[in-house]
Structure 1
Amino acid sequence: MTSFPKQLLVPLADGGPAFVSLPKAEQDGIGCFNDLPVSLMILAEDALHHGELELAAAIAAKDRSRTIHFRPSRILMQDSSGIPVLADLAALRDAAPDPRSVEPRIPVDLVVDHSVEVDHSGIPEALVRNLDREFERNRERYRFLRWARHAFQALRVVPPGRGICHQINLEVLARVVQVVDGIAYPDTMLGTDSHSTMVNALGVLGWGVGGIEALSAMLGRSVALRIPRIVGVRLLNRLPPGCTATDLALALTAFLRQLGVVGKIVEFYGPGLNSLRLSDRATVANMAPEYGATMGFFPVDNEVLAYLRLTGRRADHVALVDAYTQAQGFRQNETSRRFDETVEFDLDTVDPCVAGPSRPTQTMPLSAVPSSVPRGSGKVDAAAPIRDGDIVIAAITSCTNTSNTDAMLRAGLLARAARQLGLKPPPWVKTSLSPGSHATGDYLRDLGLLEDLAAVGFGLVGYGCMTCMGNSGPLSPEIEAAIRRDGLSVAAILSGNRNFEGRIHPLCQASYLASPPMVVAYAIAGDMRRDLSREALGKDRVGRPIMLADLWPSDEAVAAAAARLSPAIYTASANAAFDGPIAWTALDAPATPLYPWEPQSLSIRRPPFVDGPVAAPLVTQDISDARILALLGDDVTTDHISPVSRILPQYEAGQWLIERGEAPDKLQSYSARRVNHDVMARGTFANPRLRNRLARGKEGGFTRLSPDGDLVTIHAAAETLRTSDIPMVVIAGRNYGAGSARDWAAKGTRILGISAVIAESFERIHRANLVALGVLPLQFPDGFSLDSLALDGFETIDLRGLRHLRPSGQVSALFYRNKALICELALICRTETDEEVADLRGGGVLPTVLRDLVCGS
């Protein structure tokens, strides 16, 4: 039996001690703590810190029937998902008897990173002009944020232009161990973005949730979850020379997605771990949503301590992390850990690769890239500036890789070699560089590599997500005209984490993920049609063919550049993290506890989720004669359900805005309109690449209400059915709701009036989001699917047994065609805890929270 230390005194800089203490393990019946995976150990300690000894005991016993009530120590948000959360809080304040009772009870950090777009690139003034344009577009949203910053005492805001939330979290905000009231305990967090798992590289327990779940945690409700299965991934050997962390992350994404880790925690360990820098681990951890895991966890070791020192954390804090994690057994200890499943992964088998053209799991060697490019219409116009397979967007972007020092230094060194040979991308390639923090831009500048990158087209355009989340900006008019006119299949290549159809740019049918140096190389080549492992990517000034190997920097050159990095760079960036530009500080915001909503606003409108019929429960009684609003296939992402891309004038959401006076060129993105529920409702299921079988081959947000009926938008069809009190369901295949944590995929589903989603399987976050909005997630039993049932989409469905919902229980579904019963199935109710069932019965989290506030007043 291994017991917790009773007490450990660690001196702090001010001379006072930090008391690191836990109750004695043996007398509380918790068992052999060091036999647990590190991630479960931290969950157990967090439960102990909150006095929930029986839950810690259940974790130690791996009792899967028990529920963990997890309370994070902090919340991390980005503006795209975070502003709607704050708007929901503001709406709760309106409805609560005491407005000030609606106040986050734990620290909340919001980083404004999802609003800046690549409007300008290829010019020295791009950075300044894009930031100016950002404020022009988002002034009302930022005014609301300024109000929230003063209205909610626990909220801090990192202003626009500072970087990306996950990279700032890694470099600045994360503590690993924190001290509150003299007690040290683990830094744990929830983030309103699925890639919040990036912080797992530091040994911080944290994962992505929907905004409603985060709001619930802010207000003091624990996050209830079943004790997860832990998959131990034992890493062997080391990466081959020249391979990048991006290659490793993409290879692991394909490997783990095939293994099946949805809803599980992946914990990396083994001898290969010692060869991975912290930023390499961060790249792998960031991709956890892409391989489907709740977390991609790495234990604390000496590399974590070295990273804390590199990024300018105080020496006494690093000493506390060192002593605390050793005393509590949180260090890597391969011999004592016991996982639910164990697999091995040999780092030496990783090759240079890219992933595409539409999924992060589509990993392939460079030799396979040409055959992966989708074909266009086949038209050839001699006057056209581009053709099928040309790259029109090449972006070094995203915290996934711009946080990786080796990858960014390798990209800069490759750009330097290309510059010396006179190589540049062809004119049809829109190139950009958008790091995730000022520290990255500063060290590239100090080493002279920022100038080299700019010389080959990758000039600095902003500090934010930008191209990775679809804010790639417009292409040149002649390029867009040629794509539309000739039906071309053109490509984007980026150092991001997602490449779903229509996400990066509406006109890019193919998008590829790659390391930052590989992005530079492909941009110089100008197309995805060639095999860069054996074909030249360009010619130098004298016409000599240049191969990728001629430009690729050696590991020794990258290491030499990395050795010149200084903690002072990170310290300066951290010290300025909460300093905004003049446009930010000049914003005049209301100083009232209640936000003064403007009913005519097209950007910030009072959310309806605690009001009227939208807040009423949808599943408190059995459902009869439900219609199928959409019949979808496998891998429907949250991008398909609630797109993040630009709102186009011809779309229903665009038309709604234009009818109310918005100029067609100022419609912005769905991301920027998330506090306008009328826009977002019209954007639900409006992705131009959505394939609804009821639309019979027509891509986009369309459906039919009868076999011989006209095509109508899904929103219009939902309005017709809802006003006639006809219930609706959506039916889909495997992995429904894959992708980001955006709760608007569930909010939009709720606003349309959809009572249930029936699918073969669900991604974790979207399943939880549906429950949080009062929409029932139901799963086909093994061996059954929409295809095995041969559904045509015009059946009606009865759902019975809803009065007796229980976690993982059954709901009887009766399928009728022309009023004749064709099948009866026992569907699995994908509610996992009693708390979820209660929220579902209450119409969702927000109405339930409001009732608690009213009853507690």
Structure 2
Amino acid sequence: MLSRLNATDRATLAALPRSLVILLENILAHEADPAPYVAHFRQWLDHGAPEAEIPFRPSRILMQDTAGVAALADLAALRDHAAGHGFAPETVDAAIPIDLVIDHSVHVDHSGTPDAAARNLALEYARNGERYRFFKWAERAFDRLTIVPPGQGICHQINLERLTSGCVRHEGRWMAETVIGTDSHTTMVNALGVLGWGVGGIEAELAALGAPVPIALPRVVEVRLEGRLADGVTATDAALFITAHLRRADVVDQIVEFSGPALDHLTLPDRAAIANMCPEYGATAALFPVDEATLAYMAAMGRPVEDYQAYARQTGLWRDAGPPRLYSRRLILDLGVVEPVMAGPSRPQQIVPLAALPASLREHFPQDDDALIAIAAITSCTNTANPALMVAAGLIAQKAVARGLSVPPWVKTSLAPGSPRIAAMLAFAGLQESLDALGFHVVGFGCTTCVGNSGDLKPEAAGKGRLLAAVLSGNRNFENRIHPAIRANYLASPPLVVAAALAGRMGVNLAQDALGTDRNGAPVFLRDLWPDAAEVAAVLQGLPDRVETPSVDRTWACLEAPDGAQFPWDPASTMVLPPPFFARGAQGLTGDLHGARALLVLGDNVTTDHISPIGRIEASSPAAAWLRAHGQGNPGSYGERRANDRVMLRGTFDNARLVNHLADGPGNRALGPDGAETSVFEAAQAFAAQGIPLLVFAGERYGTGSARDWAAKGTALLGIGAVIARSFERIHRANLVAMGVLPLVWDQDAAALVHADSRIAILGIDGLSVDRRDLIIEIDTPGEGVRRYPARADVGSAGQIALLRDGGLFARFARRFG
């Protein structure tokens, strides 16, 4: 596709970073008149990142089930809307391939037994049969949709192992494969040199319907990796080290490209762990170059590599190919200084050396001397895709069992491999037997504990009044995510998860203290169990080229589902209901906002876990009350009801750790128009009944976390017209715009300025444009008078402003077929 450029442009633009070469090629392949966009790339080289918007058309879409069910329900409702206005329902169809992997619904209800995986899978089907029948209908109804059934693994690991080809054919020519996904960790595919990132479900729907996804031409940071990991230091340690450093370097909204001699010593799974953590350091994508390690991994997975190799070499995407590249800035990280760490107790960037873990615990929980480890979970695509990490965990278990060590009874242990291939590898190597002996039986093939599907705690830990901790090999450890009773959550490599389980307490100094005693009463230390690199390599070399994977569960094939172009909604359902977005009649951003009230005044680091309904539905919540009123005594989890807007709306901002400065304590609390404290949902309903517009105020990094579309959908449905924060994370900000909610940035302490009785106006909206984004926030508080503060609309392009004027993507979709 780059051949469409003239010789001068080809020579000039060869200096672009690899990610921008891919974006430029994408434009050349799809736009009838690419010249204006080519000019933006020239300006990028001359002046850094210009404030320019470009169209992006990904090759395919990756979905997981909890976000995917909401997106497909939206498309099914759009079919109804189109049919109601005289269009054939099939007019609404997938224009590009969509792979939806059911991986977010399995819970660790059963663990520590040989049949745990089978029992958890049976429960998964029992809970989600209605959702799964909807998925089967969708696969039949939408021509380019493929469903990967439950029990096959985590979407990002499946994407890495089975779905990615590297390059695709377009109009008879090869071009780079590109991916967007409804999960922020779609960036894991960047390890293969494939450009992809997470988006909200709404943006995915836009791409699915054949429209380009508008993106800002990004800044690109080269991160040169030098040195090599010392023996005993894992890829997890490297990923957490890089996360901490890049978060401090503020790479939010930027693309990271890795280079340097350290790549010689990083396997493809090592690179995948680093790319997977990209959302945790805030970047849009984290691209590795294509090299021999890339091709060797793809070949081992049974993927053809000849075309990708030729394409990468010819286009300059091959490692060290082409002229020197220009970047927005360059950073250097030395992997030689990385040491074994955990990250916690509530953020992935809070890395702590092993010797400092007890002090870290005391720093964050000064009232507690120690914490019982209630959950030790080997989980998440970040680490279970890495054979070396999983073998290391198995070897520690093997040595621990040989010494007679055991796990304390209060620790709930679990192992959820990201694919059956990894489980088969552990079994073939003879390591699963030792993991089983410590209670790390396979509990299923899905995200499990990493997304909060941890199940109940063991009775020995629950209800003891002690500080409880979790140690998991996941990628997120936000407050209230893993389990509502657990306050300290630490991320760690799989072998460290096993070691922590043996210790049973977070107050143990894993670097120095004994994990336990052997059969003779002698202390056993981590250094006694830790395998060296040669031991791990010996196990890996002893594996055959192909390990036979377990057979596919037949339950999916036997599951009955409806046919037809339109889905037969059941009005009595509590799982799948037609969403309201195409009947809302959204007015859009038409003028200044007056007389608004603050529903929430929040602090820094409010994540999408705080905003979006996630985890179990508490019995006291408005969502549970709605379900009881509709005959559901056991409310289950929000993930099971992502296609029920009645439940999801009531669960927005329903988080026990949410701190609203207008309320008296943490949790799902807000003040209604009469000043009485109630739930966020009930307060919003009361304001809506009086026609009062609502605002949310927050601090730094608002919306950090997963690509949760309901964090924005729920915000809009609550009647919140704007969110004012000191800074936003990219995906959530884009989702807010897609829902017609205005994101504003200001440099003020909202908790000191905004009160429950403050009347607020946002002035200057009429004149909002790309060149005029400065607005005024006017706060009128009784007894304090009227104060004005400068603010700025956090929108990067004319396209985003037009979207806000239209009332969001759903309003635009409705007009297309209305």
**TM-score, length of structure 2 as denominator length:** 0.96
Q: Is the 8 A contact 2:754 2:779 kept in 1?
A: no
User: Does the residue aligned with 2:463 lie in a helix, a strand or coil?
Assistant: helix
Q: Is the 8 A contact 1:814 1:821 kept in 2?
A: no
Q: How far apart in 2 are the matches of 1:478 and 1:305?
A: 48
**Pairing 1:497–2:497 present:** no
How big is the shift at 1:809?
A: 1.0
How big is the shift at 1:414?
A: 0.9
Over aligned residue pairs, what C-alpha RMSD do you find? 1.8
Q: Deviations over 1:382-436 (max 9, x none)?
A: xxxxx95000000000000000111111111111111111111100000000011
How big is the shift at 1:827?
A: 1.4
Query: In structure 2, what is the equivalent of residue 71 of structure 1?
Result: 57
Q: How far apart in 1 are the matches of 2:552 and 2:807?
A: 39
Query: In structure 2, what is the equivalent of residue 34 of structure 1?
Result: 14
**Pairing 1:814–2:778 present:** yes
How big is the shift at 1:811?
A: 2.2
Q: How far apart in 1 are the matches of 2:264 and 2:311?
A: 21
Q: How far apart in 2 are the matches of 1:680 and 1:610?
A: 17
AA in 2 matched with 1:786? A
User: Does the residue aligned with 1:694 lie in a helix, a strand or coil?
Assistant: coil
Match of 1:467 among 446, 449, 454: 449
| Cα separation, partners in 2 of 1:212 and 1:251, compared to 1, 3 Å | same
**Pairing 1:404–2:386 present:** yes
Q: Is the 8 A contact 1:630 1:793 kept in 2?
A: no
How big is the shift at 1:502?
A: 0.4
**Pairing 1:50–2:30 present:** yes
User: Does the residue aligned with 2:582 lie in a helix, a strand or coil?
Assistant: coil
AA in 2 matched with 1:529? G
User: Does the residue aligned with 1:224 lie in a helix, a strand or coil?
Assistant: strand
1:198-217 map, 5 Å? 198-217=188-207
| Cα separation, partners in 2 of 1:169 and 1:726, compared to 1, 3 Å | same
Q: How far apart in 1 are the matches of 2:245 and 2:482?
A: 24
Q: Deviations over 1:213-266 (max 9, x none)?
A: 000011111111121000110111101111001001111111011110110001
Q: Deviations over 1:642-687 (max 9, x none)?
A: 1311111122211221222112xx3121111111111111111111
Q: Deviations over 1:170-227 (max 9, x none)?
A: 0000111123554211110100000000000000000000000000011111111121
How big is the shift at 1:45?
A: 1.3
Match of 1:419 among 401, 408, 430: 401
How big is the shift at 1:24?
A: 4.7
Q: Is the 8 A contact 1:31 1:60 kept in 2?
A: no
Q: How far apart in 1 are the matches of 2:294 and 2:181?
A: 21
Query: In structure 1, what is the equivalent of residue 313 of structure 2?
Result: 326
Query: In structure 1, what is the equivalent of residue 357 of structure 2?
Result: 369
1:309-348 map, 5 Å? 309-313=299-303, 317-333=304-320, 336-348=324-336
Query: In structure 2, what is the equivalent of residue 559 of structure 1?
Result: 537
User: Does the residue aligned with 1:189 lie in a helix, a strand or coil?
Assistant: strand
Q: How far apart in 2 are the matches of 1:105 and 1:378?
A: 56
Match of 1:702 among 660, 665, 669: 669
| Cα separation, partners in 2 of 1:816 and 1:580, compared to 1, 3 Å | farther
Query: In structure 1, what is the equivalent of residue 66 of structure 2?
Result: 80
User: Does the residue aligned with 1:496 lie in a helix, a strand or coil?
Assistant: coil
**Pairing 1:240–2:206 present:** no
Q: Is the 8 A contact 1:705 1:794 kept in 2?
A: no
**Pairing 1:585–2:557 present:** yes
Q: Is the 8 A contact 2:740 2:803 kept in 1?
A: yes
Match of 1:777 among 705, 721, 743: 743
Q: Is the 8 A contact 1:617 1:844 kept in 2?
A: no
User: Does the residue aligned with 1:439 lie in a helix, a strand or coil?
Assistant: helix
Q: Report the count of equivalent residues.
A: 805
User: Does the residue aligned with 1:605 lie in a helix, a strand or coil?
Assistant: coil
Q: Deviations over 1:336-358 (max 9, x none)?
A: 12211001000001000000001
Query: In structure 2, what is the equivalent of residue 273 of structure 1?
Result: 263
AA in 1 matched with 2:456? P
How big is the shift at 1:27?
A: 4.7
How big is the shift at 1:164?
A: 0.3
User: Does the residue aligned with 1:629 lie in a helix, a strand or coil?
Assistant: strand
Q: Is the 8 A contact 1:212 1:743 kept in 2?
A: yes
Query: In structure 2, what is the equivalent of residue 537 of structure 1?
Result: 515
AA in 1 matched with 2:527? A
Match of 2:486 among 497, 508, 521: 508
Q: Is the 8 A contact 1:109 1:157 kept in 2?
A: yes
User: Does the residue aligned with 1:373 lie in a helix, a strand or coil?
Assistant: helix
User: Does the residue aligned with 2:376 lie in a helix, a strand or coil?
Assistant: strand
Query: In structure 2, what is the equivalent of residue 797 of structure 1?
Result: 760
**Pairing 1:848–2:812 present:** yes
Q: Is the 8 A contact 2:774 2:790 kept in 1?
A: yes
**TM-score, length of structure 1 as denominator length:** 0.92
Q: How far apart in 1 are the matches of 2:590 and 2:171?
A: 44
Q: Deviations over 1:460-496 (max 9, x none)?
A: 00000000000000113453232xxx2x220000000
Q: How far apart in 1 are the matches of 2:367 and 2:798?
A: 56
1:369-768 map, 5 Å? 369-373=357-361, 388-477=370-459, 479-482=461-464, 486=465, 488-569=466-547, 581-612=553-584, 615-663=585-633, 666-696=634-664, 698-705=665-672, 709-768=675-734
Q: How far apart in 2 are the matches of 1:742 and 1:279?
A: 26
Q: How far apart in 1 are the matches of 2:561 and 2:170?
A: 32
Q: How far apart in 1 are the matches of 2:380 and 2:127?
A: 22
**Pairing 1:836–2:780 present:** no
How big is the shift at 1:852?
A: 1.7
Q: How far apart in 1 are the matches of 2:442 and 2:506?
A: 24
Q: Is the 8 A contact 2:346 2:490 kept in 1?
A: yes
Q: Is the 8 A contact 2:428 2:543 kept in 1?
A: no
AA in 2 matched with 1:812? I
Query: In structure 2, what is the equivalent of residue 11 of structure 1?
Result: none
Q: Deviations over 1:566-623 (max 9, x none)?
A: 4423xx65xx9xx9522211111111110011111111011001113xx413532221
Q: How far apart in 1 are the matches of 2:513 and 2:643?
A: 49
**Pairing 1:176–2:166 present:** yes
Q: How far apart in 1 are the matches of 2:295 and 2:230?
A: 25
Q: Is the 8 A contact 1:311 1:567 kept in 2?
A: no
